[in-house]
Amino acid sequence: MRLALISDVHANLAALDATILDIAGQSVDCIVCLGDVVGYNGQPAECVRRIREAGAICVAGNHDLAVCGLIGTKDFPPAAASSVAWTRTQLAEDDLNFLRGLPRTIDIGDELVAVHGALHPERNRESVRLDNDWRRLLTFQALVKHPSGASICAYGHTHHARIYESRSGFPAKLTETEVRLREDAYYLINPGTVGEPRTDDRRASYMVLDLARRILTLRHVEYEAGIPFIAAREANLAPRFGASLKQKLRSIIKV
């Protein structure tokens, strides 16, 4: 089975459409979305529709849960909390029900566990960021004990593409864009973000996981960044683009 792993779309339709188009050429059997379909950007209903049309297997992200009122926004940054409130007004009840019904973890066979934030703890795991060695170690320990027997945990939330391997109990970061997964190791894999990059690289990113061949490949996709920027401004959302992109966009639109 070949899986396309995507995460953190964040209502960026241009990035999602470009990513789905690229995925179409990769001969995958299924798209697995690791949460946060909505939030920050200006086309949440359209992105929910695209994810549903694609037949993606999807787990709930913290933004998805907050938009449905299943978690609060007390700990969200101001821009994120504002976008949650705005997004609620843009989604039909059917969209909200879809997000409300998303599971917080999914097991795919006995090989992969999908989450948004972390596999630990039992509660509020969608809000935990695996952004340090200690948290990654805790999720590795949870993976080793997971009843599915899976050796791979796919997660999102940090918006950074990462691959970590554990053979001796402590995570080691792998930097290759294509990795052959060992039979005697456990893995944490993060495909990065489709729609809300937090580095100077503005491209969407996702991963293709070939479970039969045990090969993991990181892919990047170009898209027109000015489109979501305009949509966010029209919705009076505070865009999280860096100064370098704003400077670039001044040659395209009036900022």
- 202 CB neighbour count, 10 Å cutoff: 16
Joined together, the tokens standing for residue 25 give 């050429």
Angle at 181 between CA 118 and CA 162, to 5 degrees: 40
Cβ-contact 229, 253 below 8 angstroms: yes
Burial environment of residue 255 by CB neighbours within 10 A (0 to 12, 13 to 18, 19 or more):
middle
What's the rounded Cα separation, in Å, for the pair 71 and 50?
24
Cβ-contact 126, 70 below 8 angstroms: no
Joined together, the tokens standing for residue 112 give 């992969």
The three-state (H, E, C) secondary structure of 89-156, written as one string: HHCCHHHHHHHHCCCCEEEECCCEEEECCCCCCCCCHHHCCCCCHHHHHHHHHHHHCCCCCCCEEECC
Q: Does residue 86 fall inside a structural domain?
A: yes
Cβ-contact 58, 51 below 8 angstroms: yes
Q: Does residue 80 fall inside a structural domain?
A: yes
List Cα–Cα distances, 201 to 16, 194, 204, 221, in angstroms: 16, 12, 9, 11
Phi, psi of 95 (to 5 degrees): -65, -45
CA atoms within 13 A on the CB side of 196: 24
Q: Residue 77 maps to which CATH number?
A: 3.60.21.10
Q: Does residue 169 fall inside a structural domain?
A: no
Instruction: Kindly give, in sequence order, each residue whose CB lies less than 8 Å from that of residue 181, ignoring residues fewer than 6 positions away.
Output: 151, 152, 187, 214, 215, 216
Sign of CA dihedral 183, 58, 155, 137: negative
Q: Does residue 146 fall inside a structural domain?
A: no
Q: Does residue 28 fall inside a structural domain?
A: yes
Residue 41 is classified by DSSP as: S
Predicted pLDDT at 231? 73
Q: Does residue 158 fall inside a structural domain?
A: no
169: helix, strand or coil: coil
Predicted pLDDT at 89? 96
Predicted pLDDT at 230? 67
Q: Does residue 127 fall inside a structural domain?
A: no
Predicted pLDDT at 123? 85
Q: How many domains does the chain have?
A: 1
Going residue by residue through the chain (255 aa), what tens digit of pLDDT does each one get? 999 999 999 999 999 999 999 999 999 999 999 999 999 999 999 999 999 999 999 999 999 999 999 999 999 999 999 999 999 999 999 999 999 999 999 999 899 999 999 999 988 899 999 999 999 999 999 999 999 999 999 999 999 999 999 998 778 999 999 999 999 999 999 999 999 999 989 999 999 999 999 999 999 999 987 767 667 766 777 444 444 444 434 433 433
Q: Does residue 134 fall inside a structural domain?
A: no
- 100 CB neighbour count, 10 Å cutoff: 15
The domain containing residue 85 runs over which residues? 2-104+176-249
Q: Calculate helix-pair angle for 78-90, 44-53, nearest 10 degrees.
A: 70
